[in-house]
Amino acid sequence: MKTLIRWSATLGLVVSTLLPPSLIQPRPALALPQEEIFQLLRGIPVFVLVDDKNVPLGGQVDEKTVFTNIFMSKQNAEEFLIQFQKEKPEIGDKYKVELISLGAIYQVAQKNSNESQRLALQYIPTKAEVEAAKPILSREGKEYKGGVPLYLAKGGPEQNYLTIEQNGETIVPIFFEKKTIQQIINNLKQEQPDQASDVKIEVVLLSNLIGTLEEKDDEFLKNIRLWPSEEMMEIIRANQQNQQN
């Protein structure tokens, strides 16, 4: 089935609100329901370091806040674990790399956060995506200061944001990998050159996107879909295959 691509002005208003969320700011009343945020995040496989009791490896931010690293790549998580075991051999051997959905670890953080304590998630990007995002941000006069970059396409007569109509549903794709969105843009230039002549890629951070979902109950946000990286897609396919066997 051919994918129909259009440009949405609405998303421009949403993206302009993607400001860094505070680690300790209370969740506003007019937020997207947590179940809907969970559904958005649940399809994304990520990696976390856990001990023999399945407790995530954490670090202290302040007396009320601890954090745990959430890795977008298994290789990154394994490299971190090896270094941790060298630096902390007395406890490092208790930990292993565990596959978990982004939605599941988000739920864990929510359940373990209240007025007296908070579990913050620190999203760890791959080096490749950091390097891919830096020149895009530089062209916008911005500087990369950490976090997992996500990619959106902007174009059309009024420089609005990309939406995709597929199977009767309009979705807003936000990509974990630059090469994936670049391939879609390349295909668009071949299929609809009149719409793709001035397409640009923009970068937002995963933590900022989640912060926006927590702060706003905008109907359009419900159309957002996170587009997994190639490594994530391989994990998803492998899990589906295992479930079928």
Cβ pair 153, 184 in contact under 8 A? yes
Q: Is 37 a member of any domain?
A: yes
User: What CATH number has the domain bearing residue 135?
Assistant: 3.40.1350.100
Instruction: Report residue 80 as tokens.
Output: 């971190």
Cβ pair 227, 180 in contact under 8 A? yes
| Dihedral of alpha carbons 2, 37, 131, 152, sign | positive
Q: What is the mean pLDDT of residues 19-48?
A: 68
d(CA 49, CA 98) in angstroms, rounded, equals 6
- Structural domains counted in the chain: 1
d(CA 105, CA 111) in angstroms, rounded, equals 10
Q: Is 99 a member of any domain?
A: yes
Domain that holds residue 177: 4-19+31-244
pTM for the structure as a whole: 0.84
Query: Which amino acid is it at 174?
Result: I
pLDDT in tens, 46-90: 999 999 988 899 888 888 888 999 999 999 999 999 999 999 999
pLDDT at residue 145 in the model: 92
Q: Is 24 a member of any domain?
A: no
d(CA 28, CA 31) in angstroms, rounded, equals 6
Report the candidate in 165, 171, 121, 172 with the shortest Cα–Cα distance to residue 150. Answer: 172
Q: What is the mean pLDDT of residues 210-227?
A: 85
pLDDT in tens, 92-124: 999 999 999 999 999 999 988 888 888 899 999
Give the least confident one: 39-43, 60-64, 73-77, 140-144: 60-64
Q: Is 25 a member of any domain?
A: no
Q: Helices 178-191 & 127-139, crossing angle to 10 degrees?
A: 60
Residue 30 pLDDT level (bands cut at 50, 70, 90)? low
Q: Helices 34-41 & 102-111, crossing angle to 10 degrees?
A: 150
Q: Is 180 a member of any domain?
A: yes
Tell me, letter by letter, the H, E, C secondary structure of the chain: CCCEEEEECHHHHHHCCCCCCCCCCCCCCCCCCHHHHHHHHCCCEEEEEECCCCCECCEECCCCEEEEEEECCHHHHHHHHHHHHHHCHHHHCCCEEEEEEHHHHHHHHHHCCCCCCEEEEEEECCHHHHHHHHHHHHHCCCCCCCCCEEEEEEECCCCEEEEEEECCEEEEEEECCHHHHHHHHHHHHHHCHHHHCCCEEEEEEHHHHHHHHHHCCCHHHHHEEEECCHHHHHHHHHHHHHHHC
